[in-house]
Amino acid sequence: MTSFFLTTAIDFVNSRPHLGTAYEKITADVIARYHRLKGDDTWFLMGNDEHSQNVFRRAQEQGKDPLAYCDEMEQVFRDVWRGLDISFDDFIRTTDQKRHVPAVQRLVQACLDNGDVYEGTYEGPYCVGCEEFKPEKDLVDGLCPIHKTKPEWIREKNWFFRLSRYQRPLLKFYADHPSFIEPEVRRNEVVRLVEDGLVDLSISRAGQSWGIPLPFDPTSVVYVWFDALTNYASAVGYGWDDALFAKRWPANLHIVGKDITRFHCVIWPAMLMSAGLPLPGRIFGHGWVFFKGERMSKTMGNIVDPLDAAKRFGPDPLRLYLTKEVPYGGDGDFTWERFEEKYNADLANNLGNLVNRVAAMTERFQHGRLAAGAGGPLAALAAEAARSYAGAMDRLALHEGVAAAYRLVSAANEYIAETQPWSLAKDPAKADALARVLYEAAEAVRIAAVLLLPVMPSSAAEILRRMGEPASPGDLRFDTATAWRTSGERGILNAGALWPRLEDKGAITVSETKSGDAGAEAPALHSEAPALHSEAPALRTPAAPVAPEQISIDEFMKVQLKVARVLEAARVPKSKKLVQLSVDVGEATPRTILAGIAESYEPEQLVGRTIVVVANLKPAKLMGIESNGMVLAASPEGGGALLIDAEPGAPGTRVR
RNA sequence: GCCGGAGUAGCUCAGCCGGUUAGAGCGAGCGUCUCAUAAGCGCUAGGUCGGCGGUUCGAGUCCGCCCUCCGGCACCA
């Protein structure tokens, strides 16, 4: 028996899942169910990513123990997944003491034993006030320019993974396994990224309690990616059940968002190589589902709760929409209008009505019973549909697979129109033809339902039941179930409409925004992403202490905000976002400040404007130009920048 | 700026190695049957296939240049 092990990204638990997160799980679930239908020994893994400072902080805000908070969130996630009919076989949490913790420790130990983990130290002047390391060049007379205090000299341990060593092995692996990274656009991206060189990865954080301690240095915990990625192995026995691990690993398919594909294609394989473990078969980076053309985000207030979409008719219409309307691998769009439109067209008018008319005619003309027989034109179409469906599904072209199933549905409707069973019923001499025609249609519907089983599990099962399929859906196997049946008799059930037509626009529209802890934008294995590739040596990045949620007035006062007048503005050559400003902040000479607002403003629009700047920001050089300060601007989700204007006032006036 | 992808009917997209009248689904309009959820079925969209130039007997389909959009990287202090 072929085995098939697939995973999705594990999710951060600092907010409930939104439609974008659900999209990933739904499509993965379709794939998992397809493989089960084929008879593969399928194992579908999902889980939560809990060792994140965001999670820790979130728990603290709510006055909860982090683990207790994670327990609650697990329930929230499981409830959503249940509501969407996600059939995962296992759910791993990164706080799992029995499975995940030993796995991470063993993996990091294996990498250490292989010489790929080394201890680096960062040392330098550390300003307690700023809570950060200060580059020597920023010190003024040996003092912190902001606090005017003498920084402490601090050494901090950090463990690094020798990612740089794997540049060549990875490139070779990509070349030898063309379908390792899909779709192709992601593959190109990753290959180029790796070609450009890899930087060793910091994999530990010192002085934190929320995380998995390094086995060889209990004072440090394993940092995000190393911890999170290991879930794929920890869930199937790595570090705690070698036999199980040998059975399941390697994973055949990792389904992840396109933003984190790179981490799965670079860090994860390198970790596995280092530990001497086999690599996964395929990593697929899916696209985003936008809402009305915009990325869903909490700040935009355009979060769609997947359960809202499933509220009235269950998860199947949503599952169908997301797999049929969005080419898998690309981005898609969700709007309630479109959702309703597709609901009516695909479900009410097309499939639902087909089931109804076949059942109604069979009941009326044949007393609800049909004798099987050799197939006519629809049998050939059904075979073609099943074949192209399987081909598409194997290629992960889910949308094409569904389209193939729908070709059969449409063909059945056309067939009925052509053969006109109701006319045949009027002529007793045509009784045989009538019986044959109705069976032909019913059998086509049955086969279409089999094809749709992975996409709409409960609806397809109901259709099968009505079409007299004796086997329970779980026992069906693709090859035999999609074959035309030529013998036997079956009872057809005429029941009510599966999907009542929606007559009013906005019939199933629900509130578009939720208050409270509606989802954040990113799927988990994400966000706190350390740079994979950057000019800055990884060694330079010290551990960032947890930022406090609230600051004191004193702390705020450290920031010197001042009114400034823009004297000159010009685009920085070769830059997409930078504008070079010359501003009057009430000092003897104008200051040069660079601002990343070129996408929102033409330089001419800026001259003469009165704005607010941060006057005591340490200088930084960007594109070779030194910037002495920073302008205040709102930066909405999805790019752009909106300058904060001030009433014209004397340049240099303190803002507070 | 560099790298990658894309620009085809109102919308979402197919169009492989170049070849008769450029396709599908949805929406819209018209017609029609009546088994069915006023659903189905049929017909209709006359689209500079982003623009210009080139190769060719012949180009969405190959080459060059340009424009626009989307990703990634460099900058976003």
| Domain boundary pick from A491, A509, A537 | A491
pTM score, two decimals?
0.83
Closest nucleotide to A421's CA, by C1' atom? B35
What's the CA gap between A419 and A433, in Å, rounded? 9
For nucleotide B12, the protein residue with its alpha carbon nearest to C1' is: A325
Closest nucleotide to A361's CA, by C1' atom? B35
Q: What is the pLDDT of residues A590-641, one digit of tens each?
A: 888 888 887 777 777 788 888 888 888 877 777 777 788 888 887 655 456 7
CATH code: domain of residue A592: 2.40.50.140
What's the CA gap between A180 and A191, in Å, rounded? 11
CATH code: domain of residue A399: 1.10.730.10
Mean pLDDT of the region A335-361: 95
Predicted confidence band at A543 (pLDDT cuts at 50, 70, 90)? very low
Q: How far is the CA of A283 from the C1' of B37 (A)?
A: 42
Predicted confidence band at A474 (pLDDT cuts at 50, 70, 90)? very high
Token pair recorded at residue A406: 């729908």
Token pair recorded at residue A55: 């999670």
For nucleotide B25, the protein residue with its alpha carbon nearest to C1' is: A403
Closest nucleotide to A628's CA, by C1' atom? B77
- Domain containing A632: what range? 553-655
Q: Which residue has the higher pLDDT, A553 or A158?
A: A158
Q: How far is the CA of A482 from the C1' of B54 (A)?
A: 52
Q: How far is the CA of A492 from the C1' of B33 (A)?
A: 24
Mean pLDDT of the region A445-473: 97
Predicted confidence band at A242 (pLDDT cuts at 50, 70, 90)? very high
Tell me, yes or no, whether A476 and A581 share the same domain: no
Q: What is the pLDDT of residues A76-125, one digit of tens each?
A: 999 999 999 999 999 999 999 999 999 999 999 999 999 999 998 765 66
Closest nucleotide to A630's CA, by C1' atom? B77
Tell me, yes or no, whether A481 and A594 share the same domain: no
Taking a C-beta distance cutoff of 8 angstroms, is the pair A11, A21 a contact?
yes
For nucleotide B34, the protein residue with its alpha carbon nearest to C1' is: A422
Whether A16 is covered by a domain: the verdict is no
Whether A376 is covered by a domain: the verdict is yes
Alpha helices per DSSP H over A84-216: 100-113, 167-176, 184-195
Closest nucleotide to A325's CA, by C1' atom? B12
Q: How far is the CA of A251 from the C1' of B73 (A)?
A: 30
What's the CA gap between A283 and A396, in Å, rounded? 11
| Domain boundary pick from A491, A509, A540 | A491
Tell me, yes or no, whether A347 and A461 share the same domain: yes
Q: How far is the CA of A184 from the C1' of B62 (A)?
A: 22
For nucleotide B33, the protein residue with its alpha carbon nearest to C1' is: A417
Task: Please report the pLDDT score of residue A542 as a whole number.
Answer: 27
Mean pLDDT of the region A421-436: 95
Tell me, yes or no, whether A345 and A434 share the same domain: yes
Whether A275 is covered by a domain: the verdict is no
Q: How far is the CA of A346 from the C1' of B28 (A)?
A: 18
Q: How far is the CA of A356 from the C1' of B29 (A)?
A: 28
Whether A372 is covered by a domain: the verdict is yes
What's the CA gap between A520 and A55, in Å, rounded? 12
The DSSP secondary-structure symbol of A145 reads T
Burial (CB < 10 A; 0-12, 13-18, 19+), residue A143, is middle
Q: How far is the CA of A193 from the C1' of B72 (A)?
A: 9
Count of domains for chain A: 2
- Write the CB contacts of A325 (distance below 8 Å, at least 6 apart in sequence): A332, A338, A342, A399
Whether A540 is covered by a domain: the verdict is no
Tell me, yes or no, whether A418 and A558 share the same domain: no
Whether A627 is covered by a domain: the verdict is yes
Tell me, yes or no, whether A623 and A476 share the same domain: no
| Domain boundary pick from A456, A491, A526 | A491
Closest nucleotide to A331's CA, by C1' atom? B70
Q: What is the mean pLDDT of chain A?
A: 85
Task: Please report the pLDDT score of residue A648 as a whole number.
Answer: 76
What's the CA gap between A348 and A363, in Å, rounded? 20
Closest nucleotide to A621's CA, by C1' atom? B77
Tell me, yes or no, whether A340 and A482 share the same domain: yes
Nucleic acid strand B: bases within 7 A of protein CB: 1, 3-5, 12-14, 25-27, 33-42, 70-77
Tell me, yes or no, whether A477 and A564 share the same domain: no
Tell me, yes or no, whether A440 and A569 share the same domain: no
What's the CA gap between A292 and A322, in Å, rounded? 14
Q: How far is the CA of A400 from the C1' of B63 (A)?
A: 33
Taking a C-beta distance cutoff of 8 angstroms, is the pair A181, A329 a contact?
no
Q: Helix A431-452 vs helix A457-466: angle between axes, to the nearest 10 degrees? A: 160
Q: How far is the CA of A407 from the C1' of B14 (A)?
A: 14
Tell me, yes or no, whether A380 and A473 share the same domain: yes
What's the CA gap between A167 and A187, in Å, rounded? 15
Whether A636 is covered by a domain: the verdict is yes
Closest nucleotide to A193's CA, by C1' atom? B73
Tell me, yes or no, whether A580 and A455 share the same domain: no
Tell me, yes or no, whether A487 and A571 share the same domain: no
What's the CA gap between A205 and A157, in Å, rounded? 8
Q: What is the pLDDT of residues A146-162, one digit of tens each?
A: 556 666 666 667 899 99
Q: How far is the CA of A417 from the C1' of B17 (A)?
A: 40
Q: Does pLDDT of A461 surpass 70?
A: yes
Global ipTM: 0.92
Whether A206 is covered by a domain: the verdict is no
Token pair recorded at residue A95: 């706080």
Closest nucleotide to A293's CA, by C1' atom? B70
